[in-house]
Copies of this chain bind each other. A is one copy, B any other.
Amino acid sequence: MLKHAPKTTSVTGGAADVPVDCKNCGAYQLCMSLWLKTGDSSLLERVVKKKQVFKRGELLYHMGQQVDYMYVIRGGSVKTSVSTEDGQVQVIGFHEEGELLGLNAIESRQYSCEARAMRVTSVCEVSMERFEELAGRDPAIQHEVLKIMSAEIRLSHELLLLLGKHNAEERLAIFLLRLSQQFARRNCSPTEFNLSMSRSDIGNHLGVAEETVCRILARFQDDGIISSECRHIKLNDMKRLQQIAHLRPIEQT
A134 at the interface (CB under 8 A from B): no
Specify which chain B residues have a CB less than 8 angstroms from the CB of A90 in the assembled complex. 160-161, 164-165
For window 145-201 of A, CB contacts with B under 8 Å fall at 145-147, 149-154, 156-161, 163-166
- Total interface residues on A, CB under 8 Å, equals 47
A9 at the interface (CB under 8 A from B): no
Most B CB atoms within 10 A — which of A88, A149, A159, A160? A160
Q: How far is the CB of A245 from chain B (nearest CB, A)?
A: 10
Report the copy number of this chain in the oligomer. 2
Q: How far is the CB of A38 from chain B (nearest CB, A)?
A: 18
A222 at the interface (CB under 8 A from B): no
Convert A21-45 into 0s and 1s, putting 1 for each residue whose CB lies closer than 8 angstroms to a CB of B: 0000000000000000000000000
* Closest residue of B by beta carbon distance from A157: B82
Specify which chain B residues have a CB less than 8 angstroms from the CB of A143 in the assembled complex. 107
Q: How far is the CB of A52 from chain B (nearest CB, A)?
A: 24
Q: How far is the CA of A82 from the CA of B163 in the complex (A)?
A: 12
Given A145-B146, A157-B112: A84 in contact with B136 (beta carbons within 8 A): no
Q: How far is the CB of A222 from chain B (nearest CB, A)?
A: 26
What would 6 more interface pairs be, CB under 8 Å, given A84-B161, A160-B163? A87-B248, A92-B160, A105-B150, A113-B157, A156-B156, A156-B160
